Amino acid sequence: MGAKKINILLVGYGKMGKIIYDNADFINGKVVTIYDPAYPDYRKPIEEIDVSNIDVAIEFTHPRHGFYNVQKLLYKKIPVVTGTTGWFKRISEIAKQFNPENYTLVYGANFSVGMNLLYRIVEESAKLVNSIDLYDVFGLESHHREKVDSPSGTAKVLAEIIQKNIPAKNKAVFELNNRPLEEGEFSFTSIRAGNIIGYHEIGFDSDFDEIKLMHNAKNRKGFAIGALLAAKYAVQNKGYHDFKDIFKQVISD
């Protein structure tokens, strides 16, 4: 007999949701229930959904709804994976309500496998640059014109990696406001245009050369695969986990 199928409750049937649905077999999974109020067939409220046969929920919706969706899903005592950004500062509120020892939540600013590899490349590069003290640093992120949050959650993570590993750069400036950068600041620019799926770049600039590290998403499949791998991990591991922190364990399972 083959391994048991992982039954998935999919919350959000937008661009990401559809790709997760189409690729669920990657983890021997199957989307058995969908919630998305934009579709008449999937409007049954989360509170009323029967989860007796659900192994994990994957939530990709809107920053306005992410916090409340996760609350409702955890209340049903099922593992949750969420890629909805813009509300992660409230994770502590969720933890107070739902003890991480008894519940499972995997959250991430970016579930792309390639981007999580870039996080580690940027971290090691920043450490090297910090030891040389010859380079200034900058960031750039580009997304489609319909993206709600700016800067992206991924840009914030990259900025935190720079700040942690280059102490002289202790503040990311996402809006210059028509002034020069002050000591300790570095610029991180956002672009919104067309149908750009996701582009992130970190640059190190000196008097004599420039180094650029970048990730360009060709499509959303890489994000979906990462979210599905996180779902497989969530079924087996309790607690609250930032995807970037457990990435090595997730891809080695």
Residue 1: inside a domain, yes or no?
Answer: no
pLDDT (tens digit, 9 = 90+) per residue, 31-85?
999 999 999 999 999 999 999 999 999 999 999 999 999 999 999 999 999 999 8
Annotated catalytic residues are: 143, 147
pLDDT (tens digit, 9 = 90+) per residue, 92-108?
999 999 999 999 999 99
Q: What is the pLDDT of residue 36?
A: 97
With a pLDDT cut of 90, the percent of the chain lying above it is 91
Q: Are residues 101 and 226 in the same domain?
A: yes
Q: What is the pLDDT of residue 177?
A: 83
Domain that holds residue 144: 113-216
β 199-205/185-192 pair status: unpaired
Q: Are residues 54 and 80 in the same domain?
A: yes
Q: Is the pLDDT of residue 1 over 70?
A: no
Q: Are residues 43 and 124 in the same domain?
A: no
Q: What is the pLDDT of residue 235?
A: 96
Q: Are residues 107 and 224 in the same domain?
A: yes
Q: What is the pLDDT of residue 119?
A: 96
Q: Are residues 29 and 52 in the same domain?
A: yes
Tokens representing 155 are: 């840009």
Q: Are residues 185 and 227 in the same domain?
A: no
CATH number at residue 243: 3.40.50.720
pLDDT (tens digit, 9 = 90+) per residue, 105-124?
999 989 999 999 999 999 99
Q: Are residues 102 and 15 in the same domain?
A: yes
Q: Measured between alpha carbons, how far is 11 from 57 in angstroms, rounded to an integer? A: 7
Q: How many domains does the chain have?
A: 2
CATH number at residue 168: 3.30.360.10
Q: Is the pLDDT of residue 3 over 90?
A: no
Q: Which helix (H) or strand (E) holds 203?
A: strand 199-205
Using DSSP, state whether 172 is helix, strand or coil. strand
Query: Hey, CA dihedral for 177, 179, 180, 182, is it positive or negative?
Result: negative
Q: Are residues 101 and 122 in the same domain?
A: no
Residue 138: inside a domain, yes or no?
Answer: yes
Q: Is the pLDDT of residue 2 over 70?
A: no
Residue 160: inside a domain, yes or no?
Answer: yes
Q: Say if pTM beats, i.e. exceeds, 0.75.
A: yes
Q: Is the pLDDT of residue 152 over 60?
A: yes
Residue 54: inside a domain, yes or no?
Answer: yes
Q: Are residues 120 and 204 in the same domain?
A: yes
With a pLDDT cut of 70, the percent of the chain lying above it is 99
Residue 169 backbone dihedrals phi, psi, to 5 degrees: -105, 90
Residue 9 to residues 42, 43, 99, 232: CA-CA distances in angstroms?
11, 13, 22, 13
Q: Are residues 33 and 125 in the same domain?
A: no
pLDDT (tens digit, 9 = 90+) per residue, 161-178?
999 999 999 999 999 888
DSSP state of 195: T
Q: What is the mean pLDDT of the chain?
A: 95
Q: Are residues 14 and 43 in the same domain?
A: yes
Q: Are residues 42 and 86 in the same domain?
A: yes
DSSP state of 24: G
